[in-house]
């Protein structure tokens, strides 16, 4: 009886290199950088202008703008992870699991990682700018000045300090 399947117990398996070409994952076109930088700016400007109508508009601006920025960063991270896995499994796992490796990988392979990095930074800037602008749009709560705890038994009256009035004890 002959064996149809050979046994390879003593043959060492060579280390597997990446099976893809990272240059195929780069967008070839002059339109990428202007679009990547202008779309978040336009989205922020339109959202900022439209967020002055109603009391809930700043909240919607904050949610939509920050989620759009978060989605941009997530797409950039997935894109960077895909590029890292085309280089090799070890690079892909380090990029995905070990966050300090990400800037190193992006810096050493800048020709492949420039576009995901710009997309990541544009999304991060959009999320931060949206939340900062929303914080500036919403008026602060009124100063609390109605707290006047007067204890008639001891004759002690304390007035809580407001934004313009120092603490007074009578």
User: Each residue of 124-163: pLDDT tens digit?
Assistant: 999 999 999 998 888 777 765 544 444 445 555 555 544 5
Domain boundaries, the chain: 28-137, 144-170
- 3 state DSSP class of 158: strand
pLDDT at 13 over 70: no
* Concatenated DSSP letters of 88-119: -HHHHHHHHH-TTHHHHHHHHTHHHHHHHHHH
- List the single range of 23-27, 47-51, 115-119 with lowest mean pLDDT: 23-27
Query: Is 157:170 a contact under the CB 8 Å cutoff?
Result: yes
Backbone angles phi, psi at 149, to 5 degrees: -90, 105
Q: How confident is the model at residue 75 (pLDDT cuts 50, 70, 90)?
A: very high
Helices (H) and strands (E) in the chain, counts: 5, 3
């Amino acid at each position: 009886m002959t064996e149809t399947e050979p046994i390879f117990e003593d043959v060492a398996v060579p280390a597997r290199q990446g099976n893809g070409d990272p240059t195929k994952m780069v967008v070839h076109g002059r339109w990428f950088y202007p679009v990547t930088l202008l779309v978040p700016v336009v989205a922020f400007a339109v959202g900022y202008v439209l967020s002055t109508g109603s009391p809930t508009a700043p909240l919607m601006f904050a949610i939509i703008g920050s989620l759009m920025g978060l989605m941009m960063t997530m797409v950039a991270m997935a894109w960077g992870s895909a590029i890292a896995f085309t280089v090799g499994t070890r690079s892909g796992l380090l990029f995905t699991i070990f966050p300090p490796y990400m800037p190193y990988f992006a810096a050493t392979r800048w020709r492949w990682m420039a576009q995901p990095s710009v997309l990541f930074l544009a999304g991060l800037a959009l999320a931060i700018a949206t939340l900062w602008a929303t914080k500036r749009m919403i008026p602060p709560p009124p100063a609390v000045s109605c707290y006047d705890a007067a204890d008639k038994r001891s004759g002690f009256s304390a007035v809580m300090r407001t934004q313009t009035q120092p603490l007074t004890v009578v």
